[in-house]
Structure 1
């Protein structure tokens, strides 16, 4: 059995032992749920309910205002308490619909099982996925219906399920592969029905061999689906790196996976597709890993969107130590948050609560020109030079050296012996470039 991988990358400690053997636990929400109108890349949603309205489980409460957008649905039945700006995991206040859960979970119309999806056209399936509000659930939040609508001149021959889960600590995808295996495969089969000339691949890192065996057992009679075992290396789950590992195709700078005949979808996104197409259920739930040295009992939880981080942490016994840092997502690419009174959104894969020892960041020292960042960068960039240009705000040179191609994976910062804060400077520079482009 060949182990596939990409060029360069790093090997951070896995630290998955806290939750990798913990079955998914179902957690019902308490009284108040918050639904920010931004839970995806693209145009924000517009609230279509108002204070005092009664809403039902699965009812649309946020309308997408553009093609690159995704509607938002209530994950409970209850009463709209307010429509107001609320703190979002990204650190800003976002217009949100606040719902008081009545505990009845009365369903909106249309939430029933459907007939065989093979009788539906590609356009009909895309419409179902779009109306269900499905986005990439690995963290990026790109609307799934957009990914599934490549330009007519792009011939898609590979549908790749990203089951690498290369971030340290995270195990939600691993547990989904073990406990919802058939749903993952059924989601892939639905997408393959939309692209009849394509083959399906499920890429799983070799530190999850139990998941490899579980998926292989389910797909053993599927001639059009193949499980690919990937070398455990970070960032194996990055889209371009995963495509190279499985197909040996390189996505050029400025291009998309569709330009090399590929579509990549996360494990949980495939489950969401299965739920929407076969069960008539919009995106209302996700699996979240709550972990880290500060958590009393780390768990993998099946939760409703809109629940607060605080509820999930309390369900894990609260803190056994005062957390020095709390991150929405993994330690390499997640976002540090300064409150736990924020809602779970579509891209919340984990709540990582780190002790002071786990979160310690050494002080920066001067770059010693060792080149380790260049050796590690999976995008073949020159991180030390980009850092210099970013700190000097020389955005022209930053762009000339392809700084906008940085995927912000943190590999360079991880290996840097001088502990330079490389990714932070790139992130700031990239956002400044984007803001300047919008102005011009």
Structure 2
């Protein structure tokens, strides 16, 4: 059976994701779609809107056949490490191709850009160091360094978010010597970070979340931007658990964590660098909510995304030593769900997987999966006591979701 991979967060699953799956099947001619999906905390340093189990259901009911979890170790990292983990999982699962959306719309420009940077690596790194010293953020320094070296139309625009991710996916494929064939399609309508609805049917996940958390959410409809299955599952989650997850729910816990630490303790937390620990403590002392805290703590060098990732690691008490132990490849395949066709693929190919297949974490001991379990425990703290226990029970005992 031929398989195509997608790397996703589905926060939540929307019509743009449906378009992605259609493009993936059309470009790859695959029988099975395999998704590598972030767990409870995401690449931009945010708690997922609903649990990974509900997002797995959204995926399986909308065209995905197999969902593997991208471990916390990779899911909450910068694009390069995020890509390393996701590609290693798809490669271990025998994926034939990878399909991703991009502003470019063709893989030629990605290949040319990778070749160019490989041959100009020393100059690129020199420019990068120069721009970082000026105080700009790391992502900004990357794009400025690239722009300084070339203005060729054949090369990729590395200032756009999906091009950046696709570039890192293709670099990881090359670095890992994987046989995965990269495929891309041009994204349409909504931009990655759009905060408002600008199309009749396609909207970014950012704008959908903003609508869901708006002060007058009852008058804002997302029906035209998401499949009915997503809408129904979001309503079911709110009815069952009473909330949709967002940073404000976790603010009291984050504030407590910051204020109980002295600066030296905070320095041990992953991504806390350059004296920002003192700024974090000062801002936490004066802030009444997460939004106010972010406004006080942000600087030109630290993007909101990086600050949110720092907050995620503080909340989960994740140390530098834990996150720096392995940033190259995942060490297991955690199966969250499958369809009938996905199960058929697994039965035919799992004996050839290059990583252990994990169906229940209670039966698998691994340092990296302990980070996932810890993240799930913290994620559940936004819920009532009974709901918290239910979500934690799922983390340990829930078998993969099966959709016939």
Mark yes or no: TM-score above 0.5: no
- Which of the pair has the greater relative contact order for Cα pairs under 8 Å at 6+ separation? 2
Query: TM-score by structure 2 length?
Result: 0.28
Higher normalized strand content (fraction of residues)? 1
Query: TM-score by structure 1 length?
Result: 0.26
Higher normalized helix content (fraction of residues)? 2
